[in-house]
Amino acid sequence: LGDEMGMGKTVQMISFLAAVHVSKIRNKHTGIPGLGPSMIVCPVTVMHQWVSEFHKWYPPIRVAVLHGTGSFGGSKPQLIKEMVRSNGIIITSYSSLVHHLETLMVTKWHYVILDEGHTIRNPDSQVTLAAKCLRTPHRIILTGSPMQNKLQELWSLFDFVYPGKLGTLPMFMQYYGDAIIQGGFASASEAQVLAGYKCAKTLKEIISPFMLRRMKKDVMEHLQLPNKSEQVLFCKLSDEQVRQYRGYLNSGDVNDILSGRLKIFVGLIKLRKICNHPDLFSGGPKLLRGDREEDIPEEERFGYWGKAGKM
């Protein structure tokens, strides 16, 4: 499912799983009527959003978070067994998938869904190989950017959804990728351009039945909604942010960046943290062991809103 960002892919997937659950149709792979044990793998930042959306749109399905931030008191293998036994849905992160792969591979999952599935675009990465080890007859990827830079990335995503459909990566590049790439060069001959076009057309015909991508402008043609109103606000940095920002500009890191000893992205990431909230850069107040957050004055707590200009 490659709908543009903001099209409601999360709600669509919850609706789909709810429909399977309500249908009570006995699955030939699991022998379970309706929805069997399933797993959603997503970035850490949206795990609890998935839980919230399930509670909002379809509470009957039991969901649990397999991660350090989860509330389950027992061990992680115990949580997995309990959710499989109750035909529930496990929501986990990509790092937890790799960490608990040995336990997760034991179960034959009804559905495995990868949110922000372009995370597995690198065919050789540890998380990609882990995702492709999961035992399931039904695989779904949610991503607003199904292809970013290279055809190898498209192959990696498709090889998860439909293993073997595009052949091995070397075969895919030999029959499709190389011709498409060469045909796109400004110096390509007429024959190379034509060969690239034919390969691209054939590839599109192969993958189209398995990919659904809609844009907001396509949906707006069928909906009578007012135009989206956006307002851009410029926020000044707080005094604390200004102090940290200037301090970092005068640091050894910046000297190393200017001399080429350190990558510029290191500095950009740190400056962005300062602009979001100074505690993200500094680590926040240094608390003593045993200190309770409720006993600490609000302005001294981690993430205090008054330290960030945008808040």
Domains of the chain, residue spans: 9-146, 239-307
| Identity of the residue numbered 266 | V
Higher-pLDDT residue of 45 and 311 is: 45
Across the chain, how many H-helices and E-strands are there? 15, 5
Q: Count CA atoms closer than 13 A to 201's CA, side-chain side.
A: 6
For tokens 């949906």, name the residue: 219
Q: Is the pLDDT of residue 42 over 60?
A: yes
258-263: average pLDDT: 90
Full-model pTM: 0.71
User: Which pLDDT tens digit goes with each residue over 87-115?
Assistant: 999 999 999 999 999 999 999 999 999 99
Q: Is the pLDDT of residue 231 over 70?
A: yes
Higher-pLDDT residue of 271 and 309 is: 271
Q: Is the pLDDT of residue 168 over 80?
A: yes
Provide the pLDDT for residue 24: 86
User: Which pLDDT tens digit goes with each residue over 54-77?
Assistant: 999 999 999 999 886 555 556 788
Q: Retrieve residue 3's tokens.
A: 């709908």
- C-beta separation of 176 from 203 below 8 A: yes
Instruction: Decide which of 1.10.10.60, 3.40.140.10, 3.40.50.10810, 2.130.10.10 is the CATH code for 9-146.
Output: 3.40.50.10810
Return mean pLDDT, the chain.
87
- Report the SS3 class of residue 288: coil
